[in-house]
Amino acid sequence: MKKVLQDLNFQELETLVLSLGEKKFRAKQLLEGLTQGKAISGITSLSKAFKERLLEEFEDQPVRIKETFYSLDGTEKYLFELSDGNLIEGVLMKYKYGYTQCVSTQVGCRMGCAFCASTLGGLVRNLTAGEILSQILIVNALHKEDALGDGAQKRAVTNVVLMGSGEPLDNYDETVKFLRLVTSGDGLGISARNVSLSTCGIVPKMYRLADEGIPLNLTVSLHATDDETRARVMPVAKAYSIAEILKACEYYFQKTGRRYYFEYTLIEGENCDEEHAQALVELLKGKPCHVNLIRLNEVKERDLKSMGEKEAYRFLGRLEKGGLSATLRRQIGVDVGGACGQLRASYLQQNEQ
């Protein structure tokens, strides 16, 4: 597998073009072409000879869309193929304020969460920063007619969620490098405030992230109000307690001034009765946080059941009555395998038969 050119920031591209005997302004042409989602071979402002030299060392297009699935609600789910043949997936959610894209940070996952399909085959490898970024670049190009803004930063994808296949903080260095690339004024220039990172709660990395100076939206998968219950669905809970997670979240708030978020997937018979609602209120009341309730997207390989809509809204009402800021996430993309990892797992299973 060759190197990924999208891994490089603008200054690194300048160093590269000069080392290849090209004028410095070629770096800007190169970056503009990559930001538009083009393969190296498709950047028409560059000479054929220069592109051939680049292709000796770098992948022409590190990520491509292998298949697209369209939901009745307008959601689009993508099966991406990497240069080495590995598969990842992503989702594009369309809202009135713009498009939100959910991206993958790893091929597979080793966290072992019981409600997630991403972890079924374990972790295959980490993605590079440029592979994470390329997922956005090609989807942005696909929807260029819906782009907002002006000039080089005109884009359809306005919000990014690191919540596809993989645990972002388990691929820490490449994830942070991606965050700097995607928020750079030289590239897409997406505001850090429009980026959300979802983690299962790797506490030491949460502290490191707080110190990076990137004021994104930190979201922690909570899914329980006590460590014993949480450990049944999230093995990471055996390493880091809820109390430790709350301390890390408070540190993140102190460092960034950004309130933090908790995802709480409602699993029938596991974590969503009246006692759980009251325990969640007692755990989080008064903290600068918001709770996103999620109705489980059922994974056939897992023996977990989703809560009914009425019951979910009843649970939400109890949280709101208790003084918590909370919402129930609208279920989207259910008819195209909405849960993380479902599409990849299904495709791999079909092709093994």
Enzyme catalytic residues: 89, 340
Alpha-carbon distance of 331 to 38, in angstroms, equals 33
**Regarding beta strands 157-162 and 106-108, do their DSSP bridges make them parallel or antiparallel, or are they unpaired?**
unpaired
Q: Which of 42, 46, 41 is nearest to 27 (CA)?
A: 46
CA distance 146 to 286: 40
Closest to 4 measured CA to CA, from 79, 68, 48, 64:
64
Under a CB-based contact definition with an 8 Å cutoff, are residues 29 and 186 in contact?
no
Tokens linked to 110: 């080793």
- Measured distance CA(342)–CA(302) in Å, rounded: 11
Q: Where are the alpha helices (DSSP H) in the chain?
A: 10-19, 26-35, 48-57, 129-142, 172-183, 203-210, 227-233, 242-256, 274-284, 309-321, 342-352
The answer to whether 168 touches 162, Cβ cutoff 8 Å, is: yes
Are 319 and 287 within 8 A, CB to CB? no
Structure tokens at 348: 């791999």
